[in-house]
Amino acid sequence: FEGSMGDISLKFNFEQERHRLHFALMLRILRTRDPMLDPSSNVAVITEEVDEEDHQTFGRIVNAQHYNVDNYISIVFSVSDLKLFDKVQSTSRHSYLEFFVRYPRQDRFLYAKSPTTHIPQSVLQTEDAALRRKKERKDENEEEEEKKKEEMKRQVLGDEVPIAAMRFELKNVKLKIPKVPHQIFGRLMAKDDYFPTAIGTFDFQVTRAHLQNRMTDESERKKGNKNEKDLPATLRRPFYSSWKATQPDGKEDHVKLGTLTLRLMGYVTETKHTSIAKGAKSGSQEGSKGSKERSGSKGSNGSSGKKGSKEGTREQGSDDDSEPSSSEASRSSKSSGSG
Protein backbone atom coordinates (compact mmCIF):
# COMPACT_ATOMS: atom_id res chain seq x y z
CA PHE A 1 0.00 0.00 0.00
CA GLU A 2 1.17 3.51 -0.77
CA GLY A 3 1.33 5.92 2.15
CA SER A 4 2.40 9.49 2.75
CA MET A 5 5.72 8.29 4.19
CA GLY A 6 6.32 5.70 1.48
CA ASP A 7 5.21 2.15 0.84
CA ILE A 8 3.65 0.39 3.81
CA SER A 9 3.40 -3.38 4.16
CA LEU A 10 0.39 -4.71 6.03
CA LYS A 11 -0.19 -8.30 7.14
CA PHE A 12 -3.65 -9.83 7.42
CA ASN A 13 -4.32 -12.98 9.38
CA PHE A 14 -7.37 -15.14 8.70
CA GLU A 15 -8.79 -17.94 10.79
CA GLN A 16 -10.18 -19.81 7.79
CA GLU A 17 -9.08 -20.23 4.20
CA ARG A 18 -12.50 -19.10 3.02
CA HIS A 19 -12.06 -15.69 4.68
CA ARG A 20 -8.72 -15.17 2.96
CA LEU A 21 -10.22 -16.06 -0.40
CA HIS A 22 -13.12 -13.64 0.08
CA PHE A 23 -10.72 -10.84 1.01
CA ALA A 24 -8.58 -11.44 -2.09
CA LEU A 25 -11.65 -11.51 -4.34
CA MET A 26 -12.94 -8.28 -2.80
CA LEU A 27 -9.69 -6.45 -3.57
CA ARG A 28 -9.68 -7.74 -7.14
CA ILE A 29 -13.32 -6.69 -7.69
CA LEU A 30 -12.68 -3.20 -6.32
CA ARG A 31 -9.74 -2.78 -8.68
CA THR A 32 -11.61 -3.89 -11.79
CA ARG A 33 -15.13 -2.60 -11.08
CA ASP A 34 -14.37 1.06 -11.80
CA PRO A 35 -11.14 1.62 -13.78
CA MET A 36 -11.97 5.36 -14.03
CA LEU A 37 -12.15 5.76 -10.24
CA ASP A 38 -10.38 8.82 -8.93
CA PRO A 39 -7.95 7.70 -6.16
CA SER A 40 -8.32 11.10 -4.48
CA SER A 41 -12.09 10.66 -4.01
CA ASN A 42 -13.51 9.92 -0.57
CA VAL A 43 -14.36 6.26 0.01
CA ALA A 44 -16.54 5.23 2.95
CA VAL A 45 -15.94 1.73 4.35
CA ILE A 46 -19.08 0.33 6.02
CA THR A 47 -18.81 -2.68 8.31
CA GLU A 48 -21.61 -4.96 9.45
CA GLU A 49 -21.52 -3.56 12.98
CA VAL A 50 -22.84 -0.01 12.53
CA ASP A 51 -22.57 2.49 15.35
CA GLU A 52 -26.00 3.92 16.05
CA GLU A 53 -24.51 7.22 17.20
CA ASP A 54 -22.78 7.71 13.84
CA HIS A 55 -25.96 8.64 11.98
CA GLN A 56 -26.01 9.40 8.28
CA THR A 57 -26.16 12.93 6.91
CA PHE A 58 -26.99 14.35 3.50
CA GLY A 59 -23.42 15.56 2.97
CA ARG A 60 -21.84 12.22 3.83
CA ILE A 61 -24.07 10.29 1.45
CA VAL A 62 -23.55 12.74 -1.41
CA ASN A 63 -19.77 13.02 -1.01
CA ALA A 64 -19.16 9.27 -0.71
CA GLN A 65 -18.39 6.90 -3.58
CA HIS A 66 -20.99 4.12 -3.59
CA TYR A 67 -20.35 0.62 -4.92
CA ASN A 68 -23.61 -1.18 -4.13
CA VAL A 69 -26.31 -0.35 -6.68
CA ASP A 70 -28.98 -0.37 -3.94
CA ASN A 71 -27.16 2.52 -2.25
CA TYR A 72 -26.68 4.58 -5.44
CA ILE A 73 -28.20 8.07 -5.70
CA SER A 74 -31.52 7.96 -7.57
CA ILE A 75 -32.37 10.34 -10.41
CA VAL A 76 -35.55 10.71 -12.46
CA PHE A 77 -35.70 12.33 -15.91
CA SER A 78 -38.16 12.86 -18.75
CA VAL A 79 -37.32 13.62 -22.39
CA SER A 80 -39.29 16.50 -23.89
CA ASP A 81 -38.12 16.48 -27.51
CA LEU A 82 -35.17 16.43 -29.86
CA LYS A 83 -35.03 19.48 -32.17
CA LEU A 84 -33.03 18.86 -35.34
CA PHE A 85 -31.21 21.68 -37.13
CA ASP A 86 -29.71 19.60 -39.94
CA LYS A 87 -30.39 16.40 -41.82
CA VAL A 88 -29.23 13.09 -40.41
CA GLN A 89 -27.68 10.10 -42.12
CA SER A 90 -29.51 6.88 -41.37
CA THR A 91 -30.24 3.60 -43.09
CA SER A 92 -33.59 3.27 -41.32
CA ARG A 93 -36.43 5.52 -40.19
CA HIS A 94 -36.90 3.53 -36.98
CA SER A 95 -34.86 4.98 -34.13
CA TYR A 96 -34.65 4.95 -30.33
CA LEU A 97 -32.75 6.70 -27.54
CA GLU A 98 -30.32 5.05 -25.12
CA PHE A 99 -28.99 6.31 -21.78
CA PHE A 100 -25.95 4.84 -20.02
CA VAL A 101 -24.79 5.47 -16.47
CA ARG A 102 -21.67 3.41 -17.18
CA TYR A 103 -21.21 2.67 -20.87
CA PRO A 104 -21.62 -0.04 -22.17
CA ARG A 105 -23.29 -1.73 -19.17
CA GLN A 106 -27.03 -2.36 -19.58
CA ASP A 107 -27.85 -3.42 -16.02
CA ARG A 108 -30.98 -2.45 -14.14
CA PHE A 109 -30.97 1.21 -13.01
CA LEU A 110 -27.81 1.79 -15.08
CA TYR A 111 -29.44 1.78 -18.55
CA ALA A 112 -32.60 3.15 -20.14
CA LYS A 113 -34.06 2.73 -23.62
CA SER A 114 -36.97 4.45 -25.33
CA PRO A 115 -39.61 2.85 -27.55
CA THR A 116 -39.11 3.05 -31.30
CA THR A 117 -39.79 6.46 -32.89
CA HIS A 118 -39.87 7.33 -36.60
CA ILE A 119 -37.44 9.87 -38.00
CA PRO A 120 -39.23 12.56 -40.05
CA GLN A 121 -38.74 12.09 -43.74
CA SER A 122 -37.85 15.75 -44.16
CA VAL A 123 -34.65 15.40 -42.12
CA LEU A 124 -33.61 11.99 -43.40
CA GLN A 125 -30.61 12.21 -45.70
CA THR A 126 -30.34 9.32 -48.12
CA GLU A 127 -27.70 8.83 -50.78
CA ASP A 128 -29.71 7.13 -53.47
CA ALA A 129 -28.60 6.94 -57.08
CA ALA A 130 -31.60 8.99 -58.21
CA LEU A 131 -30.75 11.83 -55.83
CA ARG A 132 -27.17 11.87 -57.03
CA ARG A 133 -28.30 12.22 -60.62
CA LYS A 134 -30.59 15.10 -59.69
CA LYS A 135 -27.73 16.86 -57.93
CA GLU A 136 -25.50 16.43 -60.96
CA ARG A 137 -28.19 17.83 -63.27
CA LYS A 138 -28.67 20.97 -61.17
CA ASP A 139 -27.34 24.13 -62.70
CA GLU A 140 -24.90 26.37 -60.95
CA ASN A 141 -27.52 29.12 -60.78
CA GLU A 142 -29.88 26.91 -58.75
CA GLU A 143 -27.11 26.02 -56.31
CA GLU A 144 -26.26 29.70 -55.83
CA GLU A 145 -29.91 30.54 -55.17
CA GLU A 146 -30.18 27.81 -52.54
CA LYS A 147 -27.04 29.05 -50.83
CA LYS A 148 -28.43 32.59 -50.74
CA LYS A 149 -31.68 31.38 -49.16
CA GLU A 150 -29.79 29.49 -46.49
CA GLU A 151 -27.66 32.53 -45.71
CA MET A 152 -30.78 34.70 -45.41
CA LYS A 153 -32.29 32.23 -42.93
CA ARG A 154 -29.13 32.21 -40.85
CA GLN A 155 -28.98 35.99 -40.74
CA VAL A 156 -32.62 36.30 -39.65
CA LEU A 157 -33.08 33.26 -37.37
CA GLY A 158 -29.48 32.38 -36.50
CA ASP A 159 -27.53 29.20 -37.04
CA GLU A 160 -29.79 26.97 -34.96
CA VAL A 161 -33.01 26.85 -36.96
CA PRO A 162 -35.06 23.74 -36.13
CA ILE A 163 -36.37 21.97 -39.22
CA ALA A 164 -38.10 19.14 -37.34
CA ALA A 165 -38.73 17.83 -33.82
CA MET A 166 -38.79 14.25 -32.58
CA ARG A 167 -40.69 13.21 -29.45
CA PHE A 168 -39.94 10.11 -27.42
CA GLU A 169 -42.07 8.24 -24.89
CA LEU A 170 -39.63 8.54 -22.01
CA LYS A 171 -41.37 9.90 -18.93
CA ASN A 172 -40.25 9.57 -15.29
CA VAL A 173 -37.37 7.20 -16.05
CA LYS A 174 -35.39 6.19 -12.95
CA LEU A 175 -31.64 5.66 -12.98
CA LYS A 176 -29.02 5.41 -10.22
CA ILE A 177 -25.60 7.06 -10.17
CA PRO A 178 -22.63 6.10 -7.93
CA LYS A 179 -21.58 9.66 -7.07
CA VAL A 180 -21.98 13.34 -7.94
CA PRO A 181 -21.03 14.94 -10.21
CA HIS A 182 -21.59 12.17 -12.74
CA GLN A 183 -21.74 12.24 -16.55
CA ILE A 184 -24.50 10.28 -18.30
CA PHE A 185 -23.90 9.28 -21.91
CA GLY A 186 -26.67 8.90 -24.49
CA ARG A 187 -27.11 8.26 -28.19
CA LEU A 188 -29.74 8.05 -30.91
CA MET A 189 -29.73 4.66 -32.60
CA ALA A 190 -31.13 3.55 -35.96
CA LYS A 191 -32.89 0.21 -35.73
CA ASP A 192 -31.64 -2.08 -38.50
CA ASP A 193 -32.42 -5.66 -39.46
CA TYR A 194 -29.02 -6.86 -38.33
CA PHE A 195 -27.04 -4.35 -36.26
CA PRO A 196 -28.22 -0.98 -34.90
CA THR A 197 -26.11 2.01 -35.92
CA ALA A 198 -25.50 5.24 -34.00
CA ILE A 199 -26.88 8.42 -35.56
CA GLY A 200 -25.76 10.91 -32.93
CA THR A 201 -24.56 11.24 -29.34
CA PHE A 202 -25.17 13.53 -26.37
CA ASP A 203 -24.41 13.71 -22.66
CA PHE A 204 -25.44 15.59 -19.54
CA GLN A 205 -24.05 15.97 -16.04
CA VAL A 206 -25.84 15.35 -12.74
CA THR A 207 -24.56 17.64 -9.97
CA ARG A 208 -25.36 18.18 -6.31
CA ALA A 209 -27.72 21.02 -7.26
CA HIS A 210 -30.06 18.48 -8.93
CA LEU A 211 -30.62 16.50 -5.70
CA GLN A 212 -33.40 16.75 -3.14
CA ASN A 213 -33.06 15.78 0.51
CA ARG A 214 -35.63 13.04 1.17
CA MET A 215 -34.09 11.42 4.22
CA THR A 216 -36.43 9.81 6.73
CA ASP A 217 -34.71 11.56 9.65
CA GLU A 218 -36.78 14.72 10.13
CA SER A 219 -33.88 16.77 11.51
CA GLU A 220 -31.74 15.94 8.47
CA ARG A 221 -34.60 16.47 6.02
CA LYS A 222 -35.24 19.97 7.36
CA LYS A 223 -31.65 20.94 6.56
CA GLY A 224 -32.40 20.33 2.88
CA ASN A 225 -29.84 21.00 0.16
CA LYS A 226 -28.25 24.46 0.17
CA ASN A 227 -27.26 24.22 -3.51
CA GLU A 228 -30.62 22.88 -4.68
CA LYS A 229 -32.06 24.38 -7.89
CA ASP A 230 -35.69 24.77 -8.89
CA LEU A 231 -36.46 21.12 -9.55
CA PRO A 232 -37.08 19.49 -11.88
CA ALA A 233 -34.39 21.32 -13.82
CA THR A 234 -34.67 21.79 -17.58
CA LEU A 235 -31.55 20.80 -19.52
CA ARG A 236 -30.87 21.56 -23.19
CA ARG A 237 -27.95 19.50 -24.40
CA PRO A 238 -26.29 19.61 -27.85
CA PHE A 239 -26.80 16.60 -30.08
CA TYR A 240 -23.76 15.79 -32.24
CA SER A 241 -23.44 13.50 -35.24
CA SER A 242 -21.66 10.18 -34.90
CA TRP A 243 -19.72 10.89 -38.10
CA LYS A 244 -17.21 13.63 -38.84
CA ALA A 245 -17.67 16.24 -41.54
CA THR A 246 -15.53 19.04 -42.94
CA GLN A 247 -16.12 22.32 -41.11
CA PRO A 248 -15.95 25.79 -42.70
CA ASP A 249 -12.45 26.23 -41.28
CA GLY A 250 -11.33 23.06 -43.06
CA LYS A 251 -11.12 20.80 -40.02
CA GLU A 252 -13.04 17.56 -39.67
CA ASP A 253 -15.21 17.33 -36.58
CA HIS A 254 -18.60 16.12 -35.38
CA VAL A 255 -21.52 18.24 -36.58
CA LYS A 256 -24.10 19.67 -34.21
CA LEU A 257 -27.38 18.25 -35.49
CA GLY A 258 -29.81 19.48 -32.84
CA THR A 259 -30.68 19.99 -29.18
CA LEU A 260 -32.12 17.48 -26.73
CA THR A 261 -34.43 18.92 -24.07
CA LEU A 262 -35.08 16.97 -20.89
CA ARG A 263 -36.18 17.54 -17.31
CA LEU A 264 -34.08 16.13 -14.48
CA MET A 265 -34.15 15.78 -10.70
CA GLY A 266 -32.64 13.45 -8.11
CA TYR A 267 -33.15 12.61 -4.48
CA VAL A 268 -31.09 11.25 -1.59
CA THR A 269 -32.28 8.74 1.03
CA GLU A 270 -30.50 6.76 3.73
CA THR A 271 -28.43 3.84 2.63
CA LYS A 272 -29.78 0.45 3.57
CA HIS A 273 -27.02 -0.77 5.87
CA THR A 274 -28.46 0.96 8.98
CA SER A 275 -31.88 -0.64 8.65
CA ILE A 276 -30.31 -4.01 7.98
CA ALA A 277 -28.10 -3.73 11.06
CA LYS A 278 -31.02 -2.74 13.27
CA GLY A 279 -33.11 -5.55 11.82
CA ALA A 280 -30.30 -8.00 12.45
CA LYS A 281 -30.03 -6.88 16.09
CA SER A 282 -33.75 -7.17 16.69
CA GLY A 283 -33.79 -10.48 14.89
CA SER A 284 -30.95 -11.81 17.06
CA GLN A 285 -32.78 -10.72 20.20
CA GLU A 286 -35.99 -12.38 19.07
CA GLY A 287 -34.02 -15.45 18.07
CA SER A 288 -32.40 -15.67 21.51
CA LYS A 289 -35.80 -15.37 23.19
CA GLY A 290 -37.19 -18.05 20.90
CA SER A 291 -34.26 -20.35 21.61
CA LYS A 292 -34.81 -19.95 25.37
CA GLU A 293 -38.49 -20.75 25.00
CA ARG A 294 -37.66 -23.75 22.83
CA SER A 295 -35.08 -25.00 25.34
CA GLY A 296 -37.66 -24.69 28.13
CA SER A 297 -40.24 -26.58 26.16
CA LYS A 298 -37.68 -29.22 25.34
CA GLY A 299 -36.97 -29.74 29.05
CA SER A 300 -40.63 -30.27 29.90
CA ASN A 301 -41.17 -32.52 26.93
CA GLY A 302 -38.03 -34.48 27.77
CA SER A 303 -39.23 -35.46 31.26
CA SER A 304 -42.63 -36.48 29.98
CA GLY A 305 -40.93 -38.37 27.17
CA LYS A 306 -38.87 -40.39 29.63
CA LYS A 307 -41.98 -41.33 31.58
CA GLY A 308 -43.73 -42.28 28.36
CA SER A 309 -40.81 -44.44 27.30
CA LYS A 310 -40.90 -46.33 30.61
CA GLU A 311 -44.64 -46.91 30.30
CA GLY A 312 -44.14 -48.07 26.74
CA THR A 313 -41.59 -50.69 27.77
CA ARG A 314 -43.94 -51.94 30.47
CA GLU A 315 -46.81 -52.30 28.02
CA GLN A 316 -44.54 -54.03 25.54
CA GLY A 317 -43.47 -56.51 28.24
CA SER A 318 -47.07 -57.32 29.10
CA ASP A 319 -47.83 -57.96 25.47
CA ASP A 320 -44.86 -60.32 25.23
CA ASP A 321 -46.08 -62.26 28.27
CA SER A 322 -49.52 -62.73 26.76
CA GLU A 323 -48.17 -64.15 23.50
CA PRO A 324 -47.11 -67.90 23.58
CA SER A 325 -43.42 -68.69 23.18
CA SER A 326 -42.02 -70.64 20.23
CA SER A 327 -41.40 -73.82 22.36
CA GLU A 328 -44.99 -73.89 23.56
CA ALA A 329 -46.24 -73.43 20.01
CA SER A 330 -44.11 -76.39 18.80
CA ARG A 331 -45.38 -78.64 21.60
CA SER A 332 -49.01 -77.82 20.80
CA SER A 333 -48.39 -78.59 17.10
CA LYS A 334 -46.82 -82.01 17.96
CA SER A 335 -49.69 -82.95 20.23
CA SER A 336 -52.24 -82.04 17.63
CA GLY A 337 -50.33 -84.09 15.02
CA SER A 338 -50.18 -87.20 17.22
CA GLY A 339 -53.88 -86.95 18.01
Helix (H, G, I), strand (E, B) or coil at 258: strand
Neighbour tally for 143: CB within 10 Å: 11
Cβ-count burial 287-317 (b if 16+ within 10 Å, e if not): eeeeeeeeeeeeeeeeeeeeeeeeeeeeeee
Query: Does the model's pTM come out above 0.75?
Result: no
Q: Are 212 and 225 in contact (CB under 8 A)?
A: yes
Ordered per-residue pLDDT tens for the chain, 339 residues: 555 666 666 677 777 888 888 888 877 777 676 666 666 666 555 545 544 445 788 888 888 888 888 889 999 999 999 999 888 888 889 999 999 998 888 999 999 999 999 999 888 876 554 455 555 555 666 767 766 776 666 555 556 778 899 999 999 999 999 999 999 999 999 998 788 999 999 999 999 999 998 888 888 878 777 777 788 999 999 999 998 888 777 888 898 999 999 999 999 988 875 444 444 444 444 444 444 444 444 444 444 444 444 444 444 444 444 444 444 444 444 444 443
Q: Are 258 and 221 in contact (CB under 8 A)?
A: no
